A = this chain, B = another copy of it.
Amino acid sequence: MMEFLTQCRGIVGDAYVLDAPADMAPFLTDWRGRFTGKALAVLRPGSVEQVAALVRACAEHRVALVPQGGNTGLVLGSVPDASGAQVVLSLVRLNSIRQVDPVNRTMTVDAGCILQQIQEAAAAEGCLFPLSLAAEGSCTIGGNLSTNAGGTAVLRYGNTRELCLGLEVVTPQGEIWSGLRGLRKDNTGYDLRDLFIGAEGTLGIITGAVLKLYPQPKASITALAALPSPADALQLLVLMQDHCGSSLTGFELMSRYCLALVAEQFPQLPKPFAEPHPQYVLLELSSSESEQHAVGLLEHAIGAALERGVINDAVVATSVAQSAGLWQLREHIPLAQAKAGKNIKHDISLPVSRIADFIAVTGPRLETAFPGCQLVCFGHLGDGNLHYNVAPPVGISNEDFLDNQDKVNRVVHDSVVSFGGSISAEHGIGALKRGELAHYKSAVELNMMRAIKAALDPLGIMNPGKIL
């Protein structure tokens, strides 16, 4: 392995091959601090050509590599295993915005660009790059692409997959595939782009991308609706989409328990309603025309919802500060959970039409298995995506309850699958959910995935132990 490291130093320079434990440490522990791996070295290339040369060295010496962006993943996809035989290949030095084309509404970027940097570069040209998620100040676009990240704008703009037109990829053979096309239509053979998107670095290393931009909306307006039940939230969704079409840019469900938890942990945040309600929906409308247009549209739709008895009450934000306050309620749910102690998390999706039934059925199943357990259920209802977290009953410690993780997962995921849902909506599989994937996917699908993996990465050096 000395020869391998010498070769790597020759490629990127001594300063960019880290092998001292203190230097490597920040690259070895996952974002939530649940696992710390070991690595032979951390490699920090400064160009696509260096990435390719490093991969060729890895292939030659049969060294497995773990591509890493901002290391903000939630499923242990970007940290090495415990063997100490893998290298981390960090992409963060590839951080140039290569080009912004406001007429084509595209942007060409390095994989290591921070998401927020991309949002800002788009805004500077009067455009919107819609991908938005909690880690946007730290995560890289390469990681977003490799995990097909979701976030809060999927309802209108889609997942990261839908925001990408072209890719540049270093293959497991250390070749560079230049697929940086800025085209809305291109039917010339197999869709390799979408194969690499969401592959979590197991088929190749994304080094650059062409992203789709949108016109900046002229105005956005936020409201919070109070509702009797998840079924009413579904009715509200249909009503809002029928009234507002693609102007509806946010639709987030939060249960009474979620907002109670936020109020308890963050008493300084706004309390929009005097009395509690069973469910809440945070609504966001964006208009390409004017604030007046957005307000009129929202008030008209909310009026119709009140009239039909779909909602109990609603508050509409009348200032940017009020709007931010309403979003803070939503964003503070995970933070309030963290302050209250660890719980068992699920990132699931369902056909939107099945969500109310799923919630109605799954809660009692958990209650039967774990009497008194607390459900923290919130999420991107418009996308069918719930963050369905289970906290311990009063009187049981969080640590003790975590011992039930596998059993709780089985109850929740069995229910998800019975409703035609997914056990990973937006976080991916990584090493964390690999067992769950093997448990739930059909043999036909797993065999096709394995055949593709073997065909593109016959040496098995690309992020082994993730997904498959």
User: Which residues of A are in contact with B by a Cβ distance under 8 Å?
Assistant: 101-106, 126, 147-148, 150, 154, 158-159, 161-162, 171, 175-179, 181-192, 194-195, 197-199, 203, 214-215, 217, 234, 237-238, 241-247, 287-289, 297, 349-354, 380, 382-385, 420-429, 433, 437, 440-442, 444-445, 448-449, 451-456, 467-468
* Cα distance, A320 to B243, chains bound together (Å): 22
Known pairs A197-B191, A448-B171; A181 contacts B147 (CB<8 A): no
Q: Report if A185-B154 is in contact (Cβ < 8 Å); known contacts: A177-B448, A451-B455.
A: yes
Q: In whole angstroms, how far apart are the Cα atoms of A185 and B245 in the complex? A: 20
A426 near B383: Cβ-Cβ < 8 Å: no
Are B243's CB and A288's CB within 8 A? yes
Nearest chain B CB to A212 CB, angstrom units: 10
List of B residues within 8 angstroms of A237 by Cβ: 103
* Residue of A187, A188, A288 with most chain B CB atoms under a 10 A cut-off: A187
Docked pose: A93 CA to B54 CA in angstroms: 53
Given contacts A162-B162, A187-B424, A452-B456, 17 further A-B contacts (CB under 8 A): A103-B234, A154-B184, A171-B448, A181-B422, A184-B383, A187-B198, A187-B422, A187-B428, A189-B449, A190-B198, A190-B449, A191-B194, A192-B448, A194-B194, A194-B195, A244-B288, A246-B288
Cα(A307)–Cα(B191), bound, Å: 43
> Is B449's CB under 8 angstroms from A103's CB?
no
A444-B191 in contact (CB<8A): no
Residues of chain B within 8 A of A104, CB atoms compared: 351-354, 384
| Residues in B neighbouring A441, C-beta threshold 8 A | 188-189
Q: Which residues of B contact A349 (CB under 8 A)?
A: 183-186
Question: Assembly of this chain: how many copies?
Answer: 2
Distance (whole angstroms) from the CB of A358 to the closest CB of chain B: 12
- From B147, B184, B440, A187 is in contact (CB under 8 Å) with B147
> Could you tell me the distance in whole angstroms from the C-beta of A59 to the nearest C-beta in chain B?
15
Least CB distance from A391 to B in Å reads: 24
Do A427 and B187 touch across chains, with their CB atoms under 8 A apart?
yes
- Please state if B456 and A448 are interface contacts (CB–CB under 8 Å): yes
Docked Cα-Cα span, A350 to B418, in Å, equals 44
Give Cα distance in the complex from A190 to B452, angstroms: 9
A27 → chain B, closest Cβ, in Å? 23
Taking the closest CB of chain B, its distance from the CB of A319, in whole angstroms, is 23
Q: List B contacts of A354 (CB < 8 A).
A: 104
In the complex, residue of chain B having the shortest beta-carbon distance to the beta carbon of A440: B188
Given A244-B288, A288-B245, A454-B455, does the pair A192, B445 have CB atoms closer than 8 Å?
Answer: yes
**Which chain B residue has the least Cβ–Cβ distance from A150?**
B185
Q: How far is the CB of A120 from chain B (nearest CB, A)?
A: 19
Chain B, Cβ-Cβ closest to A289: B297
Q: Which chain B residues lie closer than 8 Å to A452 at the CB level?
A: 190, 195, 452, 455-456
Take A105-B352, A238-B102, A420-B182 as given contacts and tell me if A148 and B187 are in contact as well, using a CB distance cutoff of 8 Å: yes
29 A-B pairs with C-beta separation under 8 A: A101-B353, A147-B187, A150-B185, A158-B162, A159-B184, A159-B185, A177-B444, A181-B420, A182-B420, A183-B421, A184-B352, A184-B385, A185-B422, A187-B198, A187-B424, A187-B425, A187-B428, A188-B422, A188-B440, A188-B441, A189-B437, A189-B441, A190-B449, A191-B194, A191-B199, A242-B288, A243-B288, A246-B246, A289-B297
For the complex formed, measure the closest distance between the CB of A359 and the CB atoms of chain B, giving whole angstroms. Answer: 14
| Contacting residues, chain B, for A385 (C-beta < 8 A) | 184-185
Asked if B424 contacts A247 (CB within 8 A), the reply is: no
User: Are A351 and B191 in touch, CB under 8 angstroms?
Assistant: no
Q: How far is the CA of A455 from the CA of B188 in the complex (A)?
A: 20
CA distance A246 to B398 in the complex (A): 47
- A422 near B183 (CB under 8 angstroms)? yes
Shortest CB–CB separation between residue A410 and chain B, in angstroms?
Answer: 16
